[in-house]
């Protein structure tokens, strides 16, 4: 009887046969192939279960009538016997002792199958070969980063570079520090998907995010990275505040991702700091760690130290804050030097290079770069000279890699990434007048003046400041919901006084100021309301936002969506550019993704916190956006606080023309002093602030210069577009991927393609999503349903509709990236069929375990062919060449880093140096390579099972024909297994000596040496500079890894994926004997 292990290491062996039981011990024999001995294991009865072979299971049976092994498909397992269908419609009921099922291990080499005359129809060989070639080409281009290829994201060079660096590092602990809006979440999503692909069921990923971002993260992981089936099972997205869920998951996590990680550190840490302490304790034991934060280190030294401590606690201990501050301060000199390394500074480069020579004489690789740059600069080339630009880039890149705060900080700057985020095109200022606002301003000023003249200790100045700023903040909201909390303060006469504050509350309670401002808002939008133009309206107060949505809808006669974090109805605004207006309150200022298309951000109010306004613009001004982003700012001429504040925001900060995200700590410090200044001086305080801040010598310009210089040390150089170009070429060739995959999946394995909704032309062109369906009728899919469900379960549609129709099919899929990213694809939630997608990976795994298409033999009658004897025998070998990584894995094992992430990292590093390739070689019966073009054309013809125009035809060598072939007494059949083995040996020798093979290895070797020279030189310089044992150990491991991978390139792994024997003859009489019906 057939059994399988319930768990443990034996579960991966698949189905075996129980051949003996002694009490509780069962002897299980696993069948690898007819020409090998069974693999025997002893298991307890409680560790196994009986198995009924599913329909379509491939089985082996030795036929006494033909004297050969034959392969059939199970139609029904009846326990002690199986009903099996063999080729050509032969059905047999066989006892279990005569039925054998291959175990689940892949076929290492199909040559012995052919030597044993075990082969399938050539139809399978053609289909499988195309599929394997396509997958290997995708793997080569992506360097093994399967998650990158199979995610529904736009491919961008800087994101590919970040993902590549991390996935080729055995220690995957990084701070993703790209500037705001460059797509850190996309990078993290790809890395999370790769962890799931690498670790499978062993993955447990904890994603900790701000509370308001939970829904967005879950949505992105589902829609872009197709990980919805993993949510709450293997991927847990948990808010900062849910400590109860975080604690038990930390101890089991294989990957930890923390978005907006700065929220957990420094003075402004969320909660009481206990979460950070628990993270710091658990982080060292977690295999993969990603922190996402764009905050700079300057003016945030403690918070940044705490983030780096999570990555590397030994190098960045929390009790050495003073040392960390000194390290940042000491970098300022280098930062100023780097600031001068620009092509526009060609006349003064000598001075800059002299400084590098003087201060960093022990950094030998840097000095090599300096000498090269100096020789180019000596000729005073134009600042646009490519050699000059490249030489400067090499110096800057080296300094960034060696002297950044930590080599696992990955940061791209907007200025180095052109065209991915939109510019800000300024603000349209809408001035209006309001008698209600004038009265309110006057009343507030009278009350403020009264409060500033109080000399008694009670109420305390801090209390009066707090009340004043709360009142000013409410004034700026132009709310329709009354005085709010200010009304409560009015009852505390000992704090606010009586008569003057009551006047302020009375005016705030009126709706007149709201109505004046709402009228100005309606008029401003109406003037710009054109087709496809969208407006995002921000205001602070929830009730006011509700009222504005109704007011705009009534007055403009257009659909108005209202953002609500508890529902997703408002998402219609994102999906349909014909819906012109979205109204948001303060809850939408963080976490919302509203990029794309033509959008104007409308600021109904302008809080006295520029960081909040920056956050608003950041919802639209992001990676993947469309046109430049404009703002509309409403300004009441009768509110002098507002007119001064608008001028400061627009003129000094230039908030509506550029991102000020990097200025957040300067802004926070300014805000802390602004409240008391406003209390003392009124609007004049803002005017003074603007005067001190603006201009090239102002505080803002000085801060930007200091930040730029520090950032330049940590920033990555502009990424190469080579990988992006190669990936884009693959995407452009989606029709070829479709043809190669469908030839195997549809034509051979008999899945059917169910088209989606759309026109006939669209279906024909393949530009609409479709589903693959498992067929159970006459044209039955040729793999067991159970196997399909196990191998491809995440890709199978489990919706209620699918269950009701009893259809077993995939989710909507597409081979075209543009379709996956387009409206139809997003609406259908279509997955992208690429290397790394669950269905495609499932088909690949099946193809490695299945013998179909691996071993093929045919008789080819070709009229006019002149054989040396009665027939010529040729062998085709399909080889897969890839780096041998045994040595690299041994290095990781010695360093105690041979975990799943480490093993996958060296595999990807090997793929980068030597992209795996598929090579076909034909050899003749003398073991010489076939190079004659006319002969190769005959051999490469597709399988011809029926007679062609000139009488040519092919015959699959099934067991009966093998028997007839033996009776023909051909000399090649004297020792057929030996001939096949000899052909295999000589084919590999020919491959290893071939010019293509030798050139590929040479190119790979030079590529690896060049990359290693840069990487190891940078690590050596870093270790020498810091004199840190951790850096020294890192260099040693990388050095040994580089040597091992290079050795694996020089002597790569060569394996046979498929073998074909072709008996080529022009002898019709001999062919007729082979085709006789007897």
Highest mean pLDDT among 325-329, 577-581, 758-762: 577-581
DSSP state of 830: P
Percent of the chain scored above 90 by pLDDT?
56
Region 645-664: mean pLDDT is 89
Confidence of residue 492 (pLDDT cuts 50, 70, 90): low
Please write the tens of the pLDDT for every residue from 1024-1058.
766 778 888 888 998 999 999 999 999 999 999 99
Which 3 state secondary structure label does DSSP give 923? strand
- Provide the pLDDT for residue 3: 95
Spatial separation of the C-alpha atoms in residues 562 and 913, rounded to whole Å? 52
Cα torsion through 288, 303, 715, 719, rounded to 10: 30
- Provide the pLDDT for residue 902: 87
Region 830-842: mean pLDDT is 96
Please write the tens of the pLDDT for every residue from 611-642.
889 889 988 887 655 678 999 999 999 999 99
Region 502-526: mean pLDDT is 91
Tokens of 733: 């060739």
Please write the tens of the pLDDT for every residue from 89-141.
889 999 999 999 999 999 999 999 999 999 999 999 999 999 999 999 999 99
The angle subtended at Cα 839 by Cα 834 and Cα 843, nearest 5°, is 95
Closest-CA residue to 1042 (of 1022, 1016, 1017): 1016
Confidence of residue 299 (pLDDT cuts 50, 70, 90): low
DSSP state of 107: P
Least-confidence region, from 21-25, 174-178, 263-267, 614-618: 263-267
Phi, psi of 133 (to 5 degrees): -60, -45
Please write the tens of the pLDDT for every residue from 418-473.
666 677 889 999 999 999 999 999 998 988 888 787 756 556 777 777 888 888 88
Crossing angle between the packed helical segments 461-477 and 435-452, to the nearest 10 degrees: 170
Q: Three-class SS string for 381-432? A: CCCCCHHHHHHHHHHHHHHHHHHCCCCCEEECCHHHCCCCCCCEEEEEEEEE
Round the average pLDDT of the chain to a whole number and report it.
Answer: 88
The angle subtended at Cα 567 by Cα 562 and Cα 569, nearest 5°, is 55
Least-confidence region, from 148-157, 411-420, 591-600: 411-420
Spatial separation of the C-alpha atoms in residues 711 and 702, rounded to whole Å? 14
Least-confidence region, from 338-342, 454-458, 705-709, 832-836: 454-458
- Provide the pLDDT for residue 586: 92
Region 693-717: mean pLDDT is 74
Confidence of residue 383 (pLDDT cuts 50, 70, 90): confident
Q: Residue 66, CB half-sphere, CA atoms under 13 Å: how many?
A: 20
| CB of 473 closer than 8 Å to CB of 402 | no
Distance of CA 700 to the CA centre of its chain: 36
| CB of 901 closer than 8 Å to CB of 287 | yes
Asked if the model's pLDDT at residue 882 lies above 80, the reply is yes
- Provide the pLDDT for residue 716: 56
Burial 611-621 (b: 16+ CB within 10 A, else e): bbbbbbbbbbb
- Provide the pLDDT for residue 255: 96
Asked if the model's pLDDT at residue 250 lies above 70, the reply is yes
Asked if the model's pLDDT at residue 715 lies above 60, the reply is no
Percent of the chain scored above 70 by pLDDT?
92
Region 637-650: mean pLDDT is 95
Closest-CA residue to 915 (of 128, 145, 129, 130): 145
Spatial separation of the C-alpha atoms in residues 283 and 260, rounded to whole Å? 17
Which 3 state secondary structure label does DSSP give 975? coil
Spatial separation of the C-alpha atoms in residues 970 and 458, rounded to whole Å? 115
Taking the CA atoms of 992, 997, 1003 and 1008 in sequence, report the sign of the dihedral they define. Answer: negative
Region 989-1016: mean pLDDT is 88
Between 147 and 900, residue with greater pLDDT: 147
Confidence of residue 267 (pLDDT cuts 50, 70, 90): low
Least-confidence region, from 482-491, 846-855, 1000-1009: 482-491
Confidence of residue 269 (pLDDT cuts 50, 70, 90): low
Characterize the bridge pairing of strands 288-292 and 255-258. Answer: parallel
The angle subtended at Cα 1061 by Cα 1057 and Cα 1067, nearest 5°, is 160
Spatial separation of the C-alpha atoms in residues 881 and 872, rounded to whole Å? 28
Closest-CA residue to 298 (of 664, 834, 679, 731): 664
Please write the tens of the pLDDT for every residue from 15-32.
999 999 999 999 999 999
Least-confidence region, from 696-705, 826-835, 1047-1056: 696-705
- Provide the pLDDT for residue 152: 94
Q: Who's near 1050: CB < 8 A, 6+ residues apart?
A: 1001, 1005
| CB of 875 closer than 8 Å to CB of 922 | yes
Region 353-369: mean pLDDT is 87
């Amino acid at each position: 009887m057939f059994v399988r292990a319930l768990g443990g290491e034996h579960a991966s062996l698949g189905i075996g046969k129980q051949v003996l039981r002694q009490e509780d011990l069962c002897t299980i024999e696993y069948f690898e192939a007819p020409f090998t001995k069974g693999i025997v294991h002893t298991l307890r009865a409680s560790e196994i279960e009986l198995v009924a072979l599913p329909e379509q299971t491939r089985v082996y049976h030795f036929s006494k009538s033909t004297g050969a092994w034959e392969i059939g498909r199970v139609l029904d397992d009846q326990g002690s016997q199986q009903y099996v269908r063999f080729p050509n419609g032969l059905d047999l009921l066989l006892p279990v002792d005569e039925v054998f099922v291959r175990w689940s291990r892949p076929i290492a080499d199909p040559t012995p199958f052919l030597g044993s005359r075990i082969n399938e129809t050539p139809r399978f060989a053609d289909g499988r070969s195309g599929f394997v070639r396509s997958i290997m080409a995708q793997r080569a281009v992506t360097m093994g980063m399967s998650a990158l290829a199979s995610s529904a994201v736009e491919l961008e060079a800087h994101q590919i570079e970040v993902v590549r660096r991390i996935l080729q590092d055995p220690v995957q602990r990084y701070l993703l520090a790209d500037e705001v809006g460059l797509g850190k979440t996309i990078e993290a999503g790809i890395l999370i998907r790769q962890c799931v692909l690498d670790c499978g069921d062993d993955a447990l990923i904890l994603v900790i995010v701000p509370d308001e971002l939970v829904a967005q993260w879950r949505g992105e992981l589902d829609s872009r990275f197709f990980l919805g089936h993993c949510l709450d099972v293997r991927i847990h997205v948990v808010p900062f505040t849910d400590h109860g869920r975080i604690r038990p998951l930390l101890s089991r996590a294989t990957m930890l991702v923390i978005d907006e990680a700065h929220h957990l550190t420094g003075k402004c840490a969320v909660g009481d700091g206990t979460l950070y302490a628990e993270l710091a304790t658990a982080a060292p034991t977690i295999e993969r760690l990603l922190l996402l934060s764009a905050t700079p280190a300057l003016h945030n030294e403690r918070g940044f130290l705490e983030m780096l401590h999570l990555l590397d606690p030994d190098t960045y201990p929390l009790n050495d804050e003073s040392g960390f501050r000194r390290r940042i301060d000491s970098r300022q000199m280098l930062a100023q030097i780097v600031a001068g390394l620009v092509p526009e500074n060609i006349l003064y480069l000598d001075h800059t290079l002299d400084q590098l020579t003087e201060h960093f004489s022990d950094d030998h690789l840097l000095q090599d770069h300096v000498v090269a740059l100096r020789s180019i600069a000596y000729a005073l080339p134009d600042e646009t000279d490519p050699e000059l630009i490249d030489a400067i880039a090499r110096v800057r890149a080296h300094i960034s890699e060696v002297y950044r705060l930590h080599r696992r900080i990955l940061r791209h700057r907007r200025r180095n990434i052109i065209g991915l985020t939109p510019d800000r095109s300024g603000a349209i200022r809408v001035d209006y007048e309001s008698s209600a606002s004038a009265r309110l301003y006057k009343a507030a000023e009278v009350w403020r003046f009264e409060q500033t003249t109080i000399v008694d200790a009670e109420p305390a100045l801090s209390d009066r400041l707090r009340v004043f700023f709360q009142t000013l903040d409410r004034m700026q909201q132009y709310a329709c919901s009354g005085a709010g909390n200010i009304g409560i303060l009015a009852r505390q006469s000992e704090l606010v006084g009586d008569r003057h504050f009551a006047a302020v509350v009375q005016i705030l309670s009126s709706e007149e100021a709201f109505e004046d401002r709402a009228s100005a808002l309606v008029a401003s939008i109406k003037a710009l309301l054109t087709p496809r133009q969208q407006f995002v309206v921000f205001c602070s107060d929830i009730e006011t936002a509700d009222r504005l949505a109704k007011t705009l809808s009534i007055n403009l006669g257009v659909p108005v969506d209202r953002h609500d974090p508890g529902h997703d109805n408002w998402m219609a605004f994102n999906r349909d550019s014909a819906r012109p207006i979205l109204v948001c309150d303060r809850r939408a200022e963080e976490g919302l993704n509203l990029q794309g298309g033509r959008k104007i951000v409308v600021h109904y109010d302008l809080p006295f916190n520029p960081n909040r306004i920056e956050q608003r613009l950041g919802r639209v001004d992001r990676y993947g956006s469309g046109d430049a982003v404009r703002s509309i700012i409403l300004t009441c001429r009768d509110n002098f606080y507002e007119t001064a504040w608008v001028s400061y925001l627009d003129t000094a900060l230039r908030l509506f023309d550029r991102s000020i995200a990097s200025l957040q700590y300067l802004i926070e410090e300014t805000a802390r002093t602004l409240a008391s200044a406003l209390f003392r001086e009124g609007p004049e305080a803002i005017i003074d602030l603007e005067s001190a801040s603006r201009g090239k010598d102002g505080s803002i310009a000085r801060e930007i210069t200091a930040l730029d210089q520090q950032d330049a040390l940590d920033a990555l150089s502009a990424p190469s577009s080579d990988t992006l170009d190669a990936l884009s070429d693959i995407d452009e060739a989606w029709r070829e991927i479709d043809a190669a995959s469908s030839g195997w999946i549809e034509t051979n394995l008999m899945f059917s393609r169910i088209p989606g909704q759309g026109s006939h032309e669209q279906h024909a062109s393949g530009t609409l999503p479709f589903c693959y369906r498992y067929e159970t009728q006459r044209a039955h899919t040729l793999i067991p349903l159970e196997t399909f469900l196990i191998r491809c379960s995440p890709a199978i549609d489990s919706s209620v509709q699918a269950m009701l129709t009893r259809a077993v099919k995939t989710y909507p899929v597409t081979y075209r990236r543009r379709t996956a990213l387009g409206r139809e694809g997003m609406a259908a939630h279509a997955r992208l069929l690429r290397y790394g997608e669950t269905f495609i990976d499932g088909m690949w795994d099946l193809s490695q375990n299945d013998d179909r298409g691996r071993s093929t033999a045919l008789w080819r009658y070709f009229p006019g062919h002149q054989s040396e004897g009665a027939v010529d025998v040729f062998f085709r070998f399909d080889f897969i060449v890839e780096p041998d990584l045994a040595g690299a894995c041994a290095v990781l094992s010695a360093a105690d880093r041979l975990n799943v992430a480490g093993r996958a990292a060296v595999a990807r590093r090997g793929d980068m140096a030597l992209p795996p390739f598929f090579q076909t070689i034909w050899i003749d019966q003398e073991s010489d390579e076939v190079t004659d073009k006319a002969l190769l054309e005959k051999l490469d013809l597709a399988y011809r099972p029926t007679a062609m125009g000139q009488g040519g035809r092919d015959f699959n060598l099934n067991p009966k024909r093998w028997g007839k072939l033996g009776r023909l007494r051909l000399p090649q059949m004297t020792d057929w297994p030996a001939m096949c083995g000899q052909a295999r040996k000589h084919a590999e020798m020919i491959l290893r000596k071939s010019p293509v093979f030798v050139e590929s290895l040479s190119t790979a070797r030079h590529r690896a040496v060049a990359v290693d020279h840069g990487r190891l030189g940078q690590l050596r310089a870093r270790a020498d500079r810091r004199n840190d044992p951790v850096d020294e150990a890192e260099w040693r491991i990388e050095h040994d890894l580089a040597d091992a991978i290079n050795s694996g390139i020089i002597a790569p792994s060569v394996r046979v994926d498929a073998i074909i024997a072709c008996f080529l003859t022009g002898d019709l009489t001999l062919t007729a004997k082979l085709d006789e019906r007897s």
